[in-house]
Each structure stands twice: as structure tokens, then as C-alpha cells.
């Protein structure tokens, strides 16, 4: 069984952000590709596979246990997050009460680069294996080793396993280089209709384009868990996956997943050209991540022609001092310039902002607020920075936060250290900015008089609006 366990809806497949979807402003749930990759690889090795995203299907614990009793799995692979880890461990305890022989493999970015000291923070007595990163490569090898004994478990990199009840850690020595070695995620087992692009109301597939990021943002997990070298898939492989989604599953909307899609201009240009010169031109719609200083007008024009409808940008802050301290390597001026350029070509923008860094005062936050309104992007997310285990931010304040970060997420359960603005201040600031932003007359009119607005998309906007207001009531 490959599952996201019942409970709160986290972006479990997105190791980098692990966002609590319902507590966020406008984030849409992404497909469970991490499970899909493993499903494909295991089916190729003749395992039978059961895959389910329980939270996305709004299923309960009882639904899981009905499936569990019927399927009688030999092993369960569970994707966890920093926010859900304690909840997931309790869930696993219940599984082991029913059948202690079931092998439990728990995967999550927080297990990357773990130590014995880290393990002592948790009760892993009911867990058999931990995987920290690259689970799409590692889990199939591990499962094969457990059940077919083709390889020694002790020789598999990137896992932690038990030896006479003591945890042994096998570090991941190098990131797998050839992403084309991966099969496509098994979308016949994934319920694609659960993962909707709210802007079109159509299923949206996530397509991995590349992994890794050369930048040094101190709060970000990407360079930690995916490396600083950008590893790219071949254009042929990417295009075949897009075409398979289109022809086999009737999927026309895509999220092109890269840590920074536009960090490699050649890759973007080649991929866009491939789409432009294919039968998919004008038939597919996609979104991708970028940053304020890795995008130029020529690339924007190319992306638009190839079907890009929205670019997500991590602006993070309106304070140059804050941007410098977080090693973002952009300036406020860069943010203003790139936003004007993208708007000129009528591509939507999803702006991401962060508050709550240890050095930040009201002054920094007010500059960020000012920038949010000035940029006036189509959608925003204002998160309270989470010092994820493994990041430079975590290391710099770990004594102060004393591991209180585990089990927390960016929106609901904050941490505080002596240096922080208070939790109440940050939460109230976020609430004020987010509500004010979305309840502007100009913003509502712009959304309602969009010429592409269908009734169903209108309903999606209403749904997100209600979610937003509900979160603050
Ligand atoms: S640019 Fe910064 S925030 Fe974006 S993926 Fe790279 S390190 Fe992370």
C-alpha cells in the first residue's frame, strides 16, 4: 500500500514546502507523484500495488482500515511531513496493533541527513524504515531487497533501518543523476480528477522537469534534499510524459515541477519549442516556478507561446536587508521589474512571501506588506517561515527553538524564539494583509470580469474565498 494517510491535507508529495493546503490562502492540492513513481517501479517488478490519497478523497481512518483488512498488505509506504509527523506516527501505531508484521516505510524530507540525536526526538518503535529524499529511486530498491532479497538492505543508500532494535543510518552519498531512469508516475492508480487547476477547473498533472537548485536561500529545503546541481530530464522524456497525460488521461493542465524552472534557460527554451512545434500547441496549459532574477522577456514570450498561463515567484520580502540576510540573491527592484514584464505579456502571477525571520521587526514586515500591494499579483501566499530541519535557518536557531519545530506547519502552529516577533503578532499581521488584499474592490472586480471566467471557475474562486474567510474566523 502506498498512501497519504487520512487527516489534514498537506502537500505531502512536495518535500520542499509541505504546505498545509487548507490553511493556505490559494494553494491547490498537487498530485501524489511520489506514490505514483513508486507504484510504476513496483509494478514493473511484479508487485501488486494499492495506492490511495485518503485526505484528497476526504476518506477517514475507518476507510483506511477497511482497505487494510481487505488488502492485507505486506508493506505500507507512507509519505509524511514536518507538520503531520506525530499524527502519522500515532496512525502507524494503530496499524501495527492490527498486524505487527506489516513493514512500515516512512518517507519525509525531515529524515534527510538524520542522526541518532534526531531519531531520539521521535517514537519510531513501530516504523521499520525511514527514507529522507529521492524516495522514487530508493523505495522500489528497498522493497525489492526486503521481499525478493535481490540486494542487501544494508547496502542501500539514503535509508535508516533497524539492526537489533538500534537504528542504523546509510547516508545518501550522491543524488541519482539520470532522472530519465524513472518510469512515469502510474496515473492509472492516481485519481487525477482530485488534483484540479482552480483556474480552469480541469485535472492538473505534475510533471517533474528537473531537480536541484544552485541558490542558497537559508530557509529552503531544495538545495539540501535535491542538491545544488540542477539535474534535468531529457526533453524527449518530458514531452512523452506530457503526451501520455494528454492522450491517455485527457489531462490538459500541467504543473512543470522544478525547484526553479527558469534557472536553466536552455531547458525552458527547448521544452517550449518542443511544445510549440507539436500537435499540443494551443491545447495545453501549464504553470511553473521562477525567481525574480532568472527570467527575461525573451523566455517569457516563449513560455506564453507554449501555453504557460501562470508563473509562481518567491518574492519573499519587501526589505532588501531581509532579502540579503536570507541569501535570496534578489533585490526588491528585481521583483518590481520582473512583475511588470510578466504582466506586460499577460501571464498570471502567484506571488509567495515570507515573514517571521529571526531578525525581522515591524519595519521589515511593513515593507513586505507594501510590496505585496504594489506588485498586485493575481494570487498570493503569505507564509510564516518554518525553520525546516536541515536548512541553514534551522541550524542558526536550533538552540533557541529546541526542536519545537517538529509537528508544526507554517500557518497554524508557530514556533517562537527570543528573536522572533510574537506568534500573535505574526498571525494577526498575516490575517490583516491577506484579508485586506483579497477583499479589495479592485481585486474582486478584476477576478469577476476576467473574460475567461467560466461558472465553474467562478465557483472555485468562491470556494477559495470561503476557505480564506473561514480560516480567519
Ligand atoms: S531559489 Fe531559493 S527558494 Fe527557490 S528553490 Fe532555490 S534555494 Fe529554494
287 in any annotated domain = yes
Which of 262, 254, 185 shows the shortest CA–CA distance to 230?
262
- In angstroms, the CA 286 to CA 417 distance is 40
Whether residue 202 sits in one domain with residue 145: no
* Residue 158, ligand 1, Cβ within 6 A: no
* Residue 217, ligand 1, Cβ within 6 A: yes
Residue 297's SS3 state is helix
Whether residue 237 sits in one domain with residue 150: no
Write the DSSP string, 368-402.
HHHHHHHH--SEEEEEE----TTSHHHHHHHHHHT
CATH of the domain at 79: 3.40.50
- In angstroms, the CA 380 to CA 316 distance is 11
Whether residue 147 sits in one domain with residue 209: no
Given CA atoms 16, 21, 26, 30 in this order, what sign does their dihedral have?
positive
- In angstroms, the CA 465 to CA 52 distance is 28
The rounded Å distance from CA 89 to ligand 1 centre is 30
The rounded Å distance from CA 162 to ligand 1 centre is 34
Report the atom number in ligand 1 closest to the C-alpha of 216: 7
Report the atom number in ligand 1 closest to the C-alpha of 214: 6
Q: Among 211, 212, 220, 225, name the best residue to mutate to test ligand 1's pocket (greatest count of ligand atoms within 8 A of Cβ).
A: 220
Could you tell me what percentage of the chain is helix, strand and coil, using 3-state DSSP and rounding each to the nearest 5? 40, 15, 40
Report the atom number in ligand 1 closest to the C-alpha of 221: 8
Q: Kindly state the helix (H) or strand (E) to which residue 207 belongs, with its residue range.
A: strand 202-208
190 in any annotated domain = no
The rounded Å distance from CA 471 to ligand 1 centre is 28
User: Any idea of the CA torsion for 273, 303, 263, 382, to the nearest 10 degrees?
Assistant: -160
The rounded Å distance from CA 237 to ligand 1 centre is 25
443 in any annotated domain = yes
Whole-number pLDDT of residue 186: 98
Count of domains in the chain? 2
* Residue 257, ligand 1, Cβ within 6 A: no
Cβ-proximal residues to 236 (8 Å cutoff; 6+ apart), any chain: none
Cβ-proximal residues to 84 (8 Å cutoff; 6+ apart), any chain: 5, 7, 8, 10, 12
What is the domain range of residue 55?
2-170
The rounded Å distance from CA 259 to ligand 1 centre is 6
Q: Among 14, 213, 218, 228, name the best residue to mutate to test ligand 1's pocket (greatest count of ligand atoms within 8 A of Cβ).
A: 213
Whether residue 448 sits in one domain with residue 312: yes
Residue after which a domain boundary falls, among 170, 203, 225 = 170
pLDDT in tens, the chain (473 residues): 999 999 988 888 888 878 888 777 777 889 999 999 999 999 999 999 999 999 999 999 999 999 999 999 999 999 999 989 999 999 999 999 999 999 999 999 999 988 988 898 899 999 999 999 999 999 999 999 999 987 899 999 999 999 988 999 999 999 999 999 999 999 999 999 999 998 888 999 999 999 999 999 999 999 999 999 999 999 999 999 999 999 999 999 999 999 889 889 999 999 999 999 999 999 999 999 999 998 999 999 999 999 999 999 999 999 999 999 999 999 999 999 999 999 999 999 999 999 999 999 999 999 999 999 999 999 999 998 888 888 999 999 888 877 788 888 776 656 665 556 888 888 899 999 999 999 899 998 888 887 778 888 888 888 888 877 777 77
Burial class (CB in 10 A: 0-12, 13-18, 19+), 404: middle
177 in any annotated domain = no
Residue 254's SS3 state is strand
Whether residue 155 sits in one domain with residue 38: yes
Going by alpha carbons, the residue nearest to atom 2 of ligand 1 is 217
Contact 313, 367 (CB under 8 A): no
180 in any annotated domain = no
- In angstroms, the CA 186 to CA 36 distance is 5
* Residue 263, ligand 1, Cβ within 6 A: no
Whether residue 158 sits in one domain with residue 203: no
183 in any annotated domain = no
276 in any annotated domain = yes
Whole-number pLDDT of residue 233: 96
Going by alpha carbons, the residue nearest to atom 1 of ligand 1 is 215
Whether residue 155 sits in one domain with residue 17: yes
Residue after which a domain boundary falls, among 170, 205, 240 = 170
Whether residue 208 sits in one domain with residue 145: no
Report the atom number in ligand 1 closest to the C-alpha of 291: 1
CATH of the domain at 226: 3.80.30.20
Residues making up the chain, counted from first to last: 473
**Beta-sheet strands, E only, within 302-393:** 308-316, 348-355, 379-384
* Residue 237, ligand 1, Cβ within 6 A: no
Residue after which a domain boundary falls, among 170, 186, 205 = 170
Whether residue 442 sits in one domain with residue 352: yes
* Residue 315, ligand 1, Cβ within 6 A: no
* Residue 292, ligand 1, Cβ within 6 A: no
51 in any annotated domain = yes
Angle between helices 362-375 and 332-344 (to 10 degrees): 20
Whether residue 251 sits in one domain with residue 104: no
Whether residue 260 sits in one domain with residue 200: yes
- In angstroms, the CA 141 to CA 164 distance is 22
Whether residue 102 sits in one domain with residue 217: no
Whole-number pLDDT of residue 418: 57
User: Any idea of the CA torsion for 264, 266, 269, 274, to the nearest 10 degrees?
Assistant: -110
CA distances from 466 to 268, 409, 435, 458 (A): 36, 21, 11, 12
Amino acid at each position: 500500500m502506498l498512501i497519504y494517510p487520512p487527516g489534514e491535507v498537506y502537500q505531502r508529495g512536495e518535500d520542499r514546502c509541505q504546505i498545509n493546503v487548507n490553511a493556505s490562502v490559494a494553494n491547490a492540492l498537487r498530485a501524489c507523484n511520489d506514490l505514483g513513481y513508486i507504484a510504476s517501479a513496483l509494478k514493473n517488478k511484479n508487485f501488486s500495488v494499492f495506492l490511495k490519497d485518503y485526505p484528497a478523497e476526504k476518506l477517514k481512518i475507518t476507510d483506511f482500515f477497511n482497505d487494510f483488512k481487505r488488502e492485507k498488505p505486506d508493506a505500507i509506504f507512507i509519505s509524511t511531513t514536518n507538520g503531520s509527523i506525530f499524527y502519522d506516527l500515532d496512525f502507524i501505531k494503530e496499524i501495527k496493533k492490527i498486524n505487527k508484521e506489516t513493514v512500515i516505510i516512512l518517507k519525509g524530507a525531515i529524515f534527510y541527513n538524520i542522526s541518532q540525536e534526531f531519531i531520539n526526538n521521535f517514537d519510531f518503535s513501530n516504523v521499520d524504515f525511514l527514507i529522507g529524499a529521492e524516495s522514487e529511486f530508493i523505495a522500489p530498491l528497498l522493497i525489492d531487497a526486503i521481499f525478493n532479497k535481490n540486494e542487501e538492505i544494508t547496502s542501500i543508500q539514503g535509508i535508516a533501518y533497524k539492526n537489533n532494535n538500534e537504528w542504523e543510518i546509510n547516508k545518501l552519498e550522491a543524488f541519482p543523476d539520470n532522472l530519465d531512469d524513472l518510469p512515469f508516475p502510474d496515473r492509472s492508480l492516481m485519481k487525477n480528477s482530485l488534483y484540479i487547476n482552480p483556474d480552469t477547473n480541469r485535472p492538473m498533472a505534475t510533471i517533474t522537469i528537473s531537480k536541484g537548485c544552485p541558490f542558497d536561500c537559508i530557509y529552503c529545503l531544495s538545495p539540501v534534499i535535491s542538491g545544488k546541481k540542477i539535474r534535468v530530464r531529457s526533453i524527449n522524456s518530458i514531452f512523452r510524459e506530457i503526451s501520455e497525460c494528454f492522450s491517455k488521461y485527457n489531462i490538459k493542465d500541467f504543473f512543470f515541477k522544478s525547484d526553479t524552472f527558469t534557472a536553466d534557460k536552455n531547458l525552458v527554451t527547448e521544452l517550449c519549442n518542443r511544445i510549440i512545434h507539436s500537435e499540443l500547441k494551443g491545447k495545453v496549459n501549464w504553470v511553473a516556478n521562477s525567481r525574480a532574477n532568472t527570467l527575461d522577456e525573451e523566455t517569457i514570450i516563449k513560455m506564453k507561446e507554449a501555453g504557460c498561463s501562470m508563473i509562481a515567484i518567491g518574492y519573499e520580502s519587501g526589505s532588501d536587508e531581509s532579502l540579503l540576510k536570507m541569501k535570496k540573491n534578489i533585490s526588491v527592484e528585481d521583483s518590481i521589474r520582473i512583475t511588470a514584464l510578466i504582466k506586460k505579456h499577460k501571464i498570471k502571477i502567484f506571488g509567495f512571501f515570507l515573514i517571521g525571520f529571526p531578525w525581522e521587526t515591524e519595519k521589515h514586515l511593513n515593507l513586505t506588506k507594501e510590496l505585496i500591494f504594489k506588485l498586485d499579483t493575481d494570487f498570493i501566499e503569505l507564509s510564516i517561515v518554518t525553520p525546516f530541519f536541515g536548512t541553514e535557518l534551522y541550524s542558526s536557531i536550533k538552540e533557541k527553538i529546541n526542536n519545537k519545530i517538529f509537528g508544526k506547519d507554517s500557518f497554524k502552529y508557530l514556533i517562537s524564539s527570543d528573536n522572533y516577533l510574537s506568534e500573535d503578532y505574526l498571525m494577526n499581521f498575516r490575517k490583516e494583509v491577506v484579508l485586506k488584499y483579497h477583499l479589495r474592490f479592485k481585486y474582486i472586480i478584476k477576478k469577476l470580469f476576467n473574460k475567461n471566467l467560466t461558472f465553474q471557475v467562478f465557483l472555485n474562486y468562491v470556494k477559495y474565498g470561503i476557505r480564506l474567510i473561514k480560516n480567519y474566523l
